[in-house]
Amino acid sequence: MIDIKFLRENPDVVKQNIKNKFQDEKLPLVDEVIALDEQIRKNKGEVETLRAKRNKSSQLIGSLMREGKKEEANKCKEEVSQINDTITKIDEELTKLEAELKHRMMIIPNIIDKSVPIGRNDSENVERERFLEPTQYDFEVPYHLDIIEKLNGIDLDSARRVAGNGFYYLIGNIARLHSAVLAYARDFMINKGFTYVIPPYMIRSNVVDGVMSFSEMDQMMYKIEGEDLYLIGTSEHSMIGKFIGQILDKSKLPYTYTSYSPCFRKEKGAHGIEERGIYRIHQFEKQEMIVVCEPEDSMEWFKKMYSYTVELFVSMGIPCRTLECCSGDLADLKVKSIDVEAWSPRQKKYFEVGSCSNLGDAQARRLGIRIKGDKGNYFAHTLNNTVVAPPRMLIALLENHLHADGSVDIPEVLWPYMGGTKKLEPNK
């Protein structure tokens, strides 16, 4: 959410930012916000004037009563009563106006960083760097589900009977590999100095409103019927919510966390939920990294965070690249975002396995997360990044370490987490 003072003083900048994100339908919101802001400030001025008048009349009542001027005192009392009624009416109107203002402000997209490439959609995202040479085979690479089924590692039919499409049972060594990747990612981040956290898997609506845009919420979140609770789509949601309404001690910054959670997503409007496989699903597990820091440090942390994900993939022998999201592909709260994509030997192209985002002070402003400064409090900056998200990671790992006979080499860094198992062998 943008600072109202900034919008008031720079409406053209805000409008240009909306155009850069190709959301011209939101342009009228800027003028609507300015009009609402003017009315709110006018009403507040009236209330202050009325309160000063009421206080003066209240003091006069006491003087008149002491002087025995009861009739005049009663007139003053009536005047005070009328003032109170007027103040109540204006306050009620103010409550409505402020709610309307907040709603519009939460729809207006955050100001993107100047370095973000301008583009309409994900087809105009920009490749930044590649790491490791893409894996090439002299045999045809099977679809990832066929690889896993040969390893007796999945049961989709039972999952459909139990929960429907978009769910799965992972079995045996594939399930163990799934957990091994998460455990390795956890320890990898702990070794980078991050604190490991297991957060709540449900959050209240005020936290949902604070961490994501309305459109994201509609497409992603599962609501718990009869409760003010939502299942999290990523642990970022509850980890940033951890700081709601807090004034942070400057000396304790930055907060650097790596959090594990299951993730639940409706994937509303997404293509592929019905397709055969485990690329796009309703439930998965993820290791995340979260940083809450000083505003001037957020871009430095942004670079560190996505570099850690690249380092993790490279350590498992998986070729990858970084892809910067263009303006039209950025979610409304994001200032800047870079995706990490892994190489798929079967598709002969890269596919997304994680995303790193700098949200500036957008989440902090919505949730009231401030830093106690020497010259007053100010909003923190928040960032998040995927360390690893099986089962997409499994697809990349299996395809890039596959043999023609269907066996799969386990990356050396995972051997300790696999009880020493170095290779997965297909069913005979």
**Can you tell me the mean pLDDT for 245-261?**
97
CA distance 405 to 142: 11
CA nearest to 235, candidates 264, 213, 267, 195: 264
CA nearest to 108, candidates 211, 35, 19: 19
The token pair that represents 240 in the structure block: 């940033």
pLDDT at 15: 98
Beta-carbon neighbour count of residue 49 at 10 Å? 11
**Can you tell me the mean pLDDT for 236-256?**
96
pLDDT at 270: 53
- Residue 111 near residue 14 (C-beta atoms within 8 A): yes
CA nearest to 240, candidates 288, 306, 282, 272: 288
Confidence of residue 77 (pLDDT cuts 50, 70, 90): confident
Q: What are phi and psi of 346, to 5 degrees?
A: -70, -50
The span from the first CA to the last CA of the chain, in angstroms, equals 57
CA 62 to each of CA 70, 72, 79: distance values in angstroms, whole numbers, following the listed order: 10, 11, 14
**Which domains are delineated in the chain?**
4-107 (1.10.287.40), 122-424 (3.30.930.10)
**Can you tell me the mean pLDDT for 377-391?**
95
CA nearest to 386, candidates 350, 338, 349, 427: 338
pTM for the full predicted model: 0.89
What SS3 state is found at 326? coil
Out of 209-223, 225-239, 336-350, which region has the weakest mean confidence (pLDDT)? 209-223
pLDDT, one tens digit per residue, over 395-417 is 999 999 999 999 999 999 999 99
- Average pLDDT over all residues of the chain: 93
pLDDT at 273: 47
pLDDT at 375: 86
pLDDT at 144: 94
Whether residue 318 is predicted with pLDDT greater than 50 in this model: the reply is: yes
% of the chain with per-residue pLDDT over 70? 97
pLDDT, one tens digit per residue, over 136-170 is 999 999 999 999 999 999 999 999 999 998 899 99
H or E element at residue 409: strand 408-409
CA nearest to 373, candidates 247, 246, 242: 247
pLDDT at 237: 94
Whether residue 288 is predicted with pLDDT greater than 60 in this model: the reply is: yes
Whether residue 38 is predicted with pLDDT greater than 80 in this model: the reply is: yes
